[in-house]
Structure 1
Amino acid sequence: MSVNKNSFKHALAQKQHQLGLWVSLCNAYSAEIVAGAGFDWLLLDTEHSPNDVSGVLAQLQSAAAYPVSAAVRPSWNDAIQQKRFLDIGAQTLLIPYVQNAEEAARAVAGMRYPPRGNRGVGGTMRASHFGRNKNYMHECESELCLLVQVETQEGLDNLEAITRVDGVDGVFIGPADLSASMGHLGNPGHHEVQSAIEDAIRLVRALGKAPGTLTLDTQLARHYMECGSLFTAVGMDVALLAKAADGLVGAFS
């Protein structure tokens, strides 16, 4: 028995664009619905949604039946959260609010067992097929993918140093918090914010790592891809449901 292959990580390494969807409904049934839609990856969010470890586990299990990769965003750059999500089988983590190389290195440490990192050692967790894979601790690192989220002006100022940290596979540019940090709260479409996002995508790509971002605007998503984004989330399950519900009511108004 071997470690599950992380197709998302390998696709990024081969510069193959991955189309994604943000999943915030915190429900295994709805996660299964979108898992079968044809996206390359789903982001199971715990930062801005009422998700917890058991809820994420159920979503990982429901998505596992489909050819889609499931990434998890912890609520903070915290080794304990990383350990818990990795142990239940998450292979890709998106760590929010990384502002410098030291914080990026801390996130890397949470992905690795000692002596290379500080991930706690468990023997019978889901990630190791409940202990059946005796080599899990020695093999897993090659299939784990770390994405760090840059979403402040300070993070942008340190973007090159963050990107160069060994163990960082990709850098996600967070438009919402970035716009707030740049003085344009609630307006990620501001030209200064957009210019910063485009420049960040190009820099990360030039440094040999995978850049990514999120937008609900189809045209803007295509533009980010043209700039070099390799993992682009183009929608959110909550937004899709709200829009469809509003549209249905509107058809009878």
Structure 2
Amino acid sequence: MASNSLRERLASGDELVGTFQITASPMVAETIGETDLDFVVLDQEHGPLTAETTASLTMGVDNTDTSAVVRVRSNDPPEIQRALDLGAEGVQIPQIETAEDARTAVDAARFSPVGERGFSMYVRAGEYIGSESYTEDQNEQTTVIVHVEGERGVENIDEILSVDGIDVIFLGPYDLSQSLGVPGQINHERVTSLMEDVCEKAADANRVVGTHADDPETARRWLDAGAQYVTLSVELPTLHDAFDSAYHDAVADE
């Protein structure tokens, strides 16, 4: 298990790079954890992951120094609560478009007096026995990441940035490209210009920005632009490209 929480590392200014996992394999999760990546996002939104498989994946990651984050399917309090009860260190919440959306996410992810997360400490996050400091510890250690991935969310970014309890504003370039009428063109000037504007506003508000990159060069670009939390690719295309490259290297001289 990671010695310092993601939240602590973000607060100290560390640049964190992770990846997405959509397969329901604990061995894949553990393998990712054995790399130098800082975190892995277990993707319930775009993958087939259930509560049961997510629990197994977090157990696999917890055997390593990498942190487990869960991207839930929607901004729904039971979804968020369940992911955190299963032991995820952080939760990523999609399709945040307004300050009200952001407050709903924070309320679901944090216990009173900060939020309204449903309370049971007899869960994996509480090591099944709980403690007197359980809610305080969870509030201090849980990383709340909200996805701003549409034009409306960008239009409301000042209000979203003002919501307390958010640790990362995560810019989703693919959904943003779609909302701007250039689906899939994540390097289109309309997309990158808006993302750069959000990075600047977040810096002015002393808030952390995250985003996704398909390759190391793009990841470095956004880290240089001020992002602190970057997902680098997804495990399946990474696996595909590694084997494809290895095959062609092996037969190159034939």
Distance in 1 separating the partners of 2:226 and 2:123: 37
Deviation, structure 1 residue 138: 3.6
Structure 2 match to 1:54: 52
Structure 1 match to 2:206: 208
Deviation, structure 1 residue 192: 1.1
Q: 2:22 aligns with which of 16, 24, 46?
A: 24
Deviation, structure 1 residue 249: 5.1
Q: Is the 8 A contact 2:26 2:56 kept in 1?
A: yes
Deviation, structure 1 residue 246: 3.2
Distance in 1 separating the partners of 2:37 and 2:21: 12
TM-score, with normalisation over the residues of structure 2?
0.93
Structure 2 match to 1:246: 244
Q: 1:221 aligns with which of 219, 226, 229?
A: 219
Task: Give deviations 1:138-171, integer Å, cap 9, x for gaps.
Answer: 4321111111000000000011111110111110
Matched, 1:161 2:159: yes
Distance in 1 separating the partners of 2:246 and 2:127: 44
- SS in structure 1 at match of 2:194: helix
Residue 241 to residue 101, structure 1, CA distance change in 2 (3 Å): same
Distance in 1 separating the partners of 2:242 and 2:174: 23
Residue 5 to residue 137, structure 1, CA distance change in 2 (3 Å): farther
Q: 1:112 aligns with which of 110, 113, 121?
A: 110
Distance in 2 separating the partners of 1:81 and 1:95: 10
Query: Once structures 1 and 2 are overlaid, which stretch shifts more, 240-249 or 143-152?
Result: 240-249
Distance in 1 separating the partners of 2:90 and 2:185: 29
Structure 1 match to 2:170: 172
Query: Once structures 1 and 2 are overlaid, which stretch shifts more, 240-249 or 56-65?
Result: 240-249
Matched, 1:73 2:55: no
Task: Give deviations 1:107-141, integer Å, cap 9, x for gaps.
Answer: 01101234543321213111111124232124321
Deviation, structure 1 residue 202: 2.2
Residue pairs, 1:132-211, within 5 angstroms: 132-211=130-209
Distance in 1 separating the partners of 2:35 and 2:53: 21
- SS in structure 2 at match of 1:233: strand
Distance in 2 separating the partners of 1:26 and 1:160: 37
Distance in 2 separating the partners of 1:191 and 1:44: 30
For structure 1, list consecutive stretches of 5 or more residues without a partner in the other structure: none
Letter in 2 for 1:135: S
Structure 1 match to 2:36: 38
Deviation, structure 1 residue 207: 1.0
Task: Give deviations 1:31-70, integer Å, cap 9, x for gaps.
Answer: 1111101111111111011111111111111111111111
Query: Once structures 1 and 2 are overlaid, which stretch shifts more, 159-168 or 108-117?
Result: 108-117
For structure 2, list consecutive stretches of 5 or more residues without a partner in the other structure: none
CA RMSD of aligned residues (A): 1.8
- SS in structure 2 at match of 1:110: helix
4+ residue segments displaced more than 3 Å = 245-253
Distance in 1 separating the partners of 2:88 and 2:115: 18
Query: Once structures 1 and 2 are overlaid, which stretch shifts more, 114-123 or 128-137?
Result: 114-123
Letter in 1 for 2:152: E
Matched, 1:231 2:226: no
Q: Is the 8 A contact 2:3 2:65 kept in 1?
A: no
* Count of residues paired in the alignment: 250
- SS in structure 2 at match of 1:189: coil
Query: Once structures 1 and 2 are overlaid, which stretch shifts more, 50-59 or 150-159?
Result: 50-59
Structure 1 match to 2:128: 130
- The percent identity for this pair of structures is 29
